[in-house]
Amino acid sequence: MNEFEWRRQMRDLRQPLAPRQDLWASIDAALGDAESTAAGDAPTATTPSGSRRRWLIAASFAASVALAGAIGWHARNATMTTPVASAPSVQNWKPADPRLAGAATQLNAARMELQQAMQQAPHSSALQRLLIQTERQQSQLRQLASDAG
């Protein structure tokens, strides 16, 4: 099939097409059902009655108030900071041994990055564990430096 045949077929699709069956009969039946429901017949599952509608409105209002309260409570708790590791750490400690100095620099940089991340997510237990582990490694490095002389 080339482009000209394709375009001809596309133009043929723009022609009006009559439906296979008469649609007005089903439309009239649907409208008749809706009028009889509005006139006072038993409510259907798609149209709730007045008391049921009031109950649904009240339930949706209660749910939105509960959601707003939960968001406020979470925001209030998120502003509170949790205590981070209480291990004392000396800022920019650098041992005399050049082999240990590189490790000390890396651990100081890692600790500073973890503290910045903790400011953004103070409740993160994974960050707290990493910070504790980094400070433990720093104390081990200080112990190695003091043992080395």
pLDDT digits (tens, 9 = 90+) for 100-142: 888 888 888 888 898 898 898 888 888 888 888 988 888 888 8
pLDDT digits (tens, 9 = 90+) for 83-95: 444 444 446 677 7
pLDDT digits (tens, 9 = 90+) for 26-77: 888 888 887 777 666 555 555 567 788 888 888 898 888 888 888 888 877 7
Q: Map out the domains of the chain as residue ranges.
A: 98-148
Structure tokens, 67 = 């959601």
Q: What is this structure's pTM?
A: 0.38
Instruction: Reduce the secondary structure of 17-40 to three states and give it as a string.
Output: CCCCCCCHHHHHHHHHHHHHHHCC
Q: Which of 56, 24, 50 is nearest to 37 (CA)?
A: 50
Contacts 24+ apart (CB under 8 A), 113-122: 115/84, 118/84, 122/78, 122/80, 122/81, 122/82, 122/84
Average pLDDT of the residues in 9-36: 82
